[in-house]
Amino acid sequence: MSAPSKGGASRDGYGSALLRLSSDSRVVVLEADLGKSTKSCHFRELYPERTISLGIAEQNMVLVASGMASSGKIPFASTFAIFTERGFEQVRNGVARPGLVVHLCGSHGGVHTGTDGSSAQSIEDLALYRTIPGMTVMHPCDDLSAEELTVQLLNHDNPSYTRTARNKTPRMYDQETCKSLKIGKGSVLREGGDVAIISCGVMVSESMKAAEYLSSKGIEATVVDMHTLKPLDTELIDELAGKCKGLVTAEDHSVIGGLGSAVAEHVSYNGGTPLRMVGVSDRFGESGTPQELMEAMGITYGDIAISCESLMS
């Protein structure tokens, strides 16, 4: 699958999805002072009577959402990824433990956010929400996939956390191909029999660049957009492990507890599958441009290519 050149930010896809969902009167939107940044502001502008703006009160936002879910509503609540962590205990005990369906969106995740600095760069959010029983965890790679996957949450039976990104990235899908996406199923963007690159979020486009570079060196890589980290598409991983010489994961997230860990947890049961992880090491981010930070953290397409070449050797 070739990637269209026009870019989009996944947070824009979240905002577009809310508008598509607006025809269902059960859908309500909650904000914590950052609707303009998460793009839920578009829903608020058209449907103020179904929008609750709680100010800088993320824990309260989660519990209000859980109360609305218990009353038959389908709440979509959003703020920055780092600020959703303030409400982690409420997500655990107020949403997931009683089995309520609340959909939480954390925007501006990862170091790709850039100049906001380490205090605003969540590199542990995906790991945190993966630990909550029954929680669906997603990180789409562009605006169109974020829109499609968010729309599918309308009929999803589990609470969810979706991470979106601030900056535009190349589109991996168009209006037709994104319709094939399904929560819990990885999307194969490129076929190759030597190595499989499994990535999510902004790292999907980097993985495609790495695959093109590797191809010029005689190494053919499969590239997978693993937009859903939980439930993980283990059938696809087993298929890739069977046909490729090894797996490389790529994420704008800590290597502890994220996509790489999820894949490692699964392949460890079978053994014999070489695995390399490209992600943020055990450290905090810093302030800089997205490209500067990706280079500093070792998560560029070049780092993915190096990991693939190391695995092949």
Tell me the catalytic residues. Answer: 58
> Cα(198)–Cα(86) distance, rounded to whole angstroms?
30
Q: Which of 200, 222, 209 is CA-nearest to residue 149?
A: 200
The DSSP 8-state label assigned to residue 201 in this structure reads T
> Cα(80)–Cα(143) distance, rounded to whole angstroms?
17
Q: Do the bridges between strand 275-280 and strand 169-170 make them parallel or antiparallel, or are there none, so unpaired?
A: unpaired
Q: Do the bridges between strand 169-170 and strand 195-199 make them parallel or antiparallel, or are there none, so unpaired?
A: unpaired
Element (H, E) at 238: helix 234-243
Quick check: 152 and 112 in contact, CB under 8 A?
no
> Cα(103)–Cα(248) distance, rounded to whole angstroms?
30
User: Reduced to 3 DSSP states, what percent helix, strand and coil does the chain have, rounded to the nearest 5?
Assistant: 45, 20, 35
Residues 6 or more apart in contact with residue 251 via CB below 8 angstroms:
126, 139, 199, 200, 201, 203, 258, 259, 260, 278, 279, 299
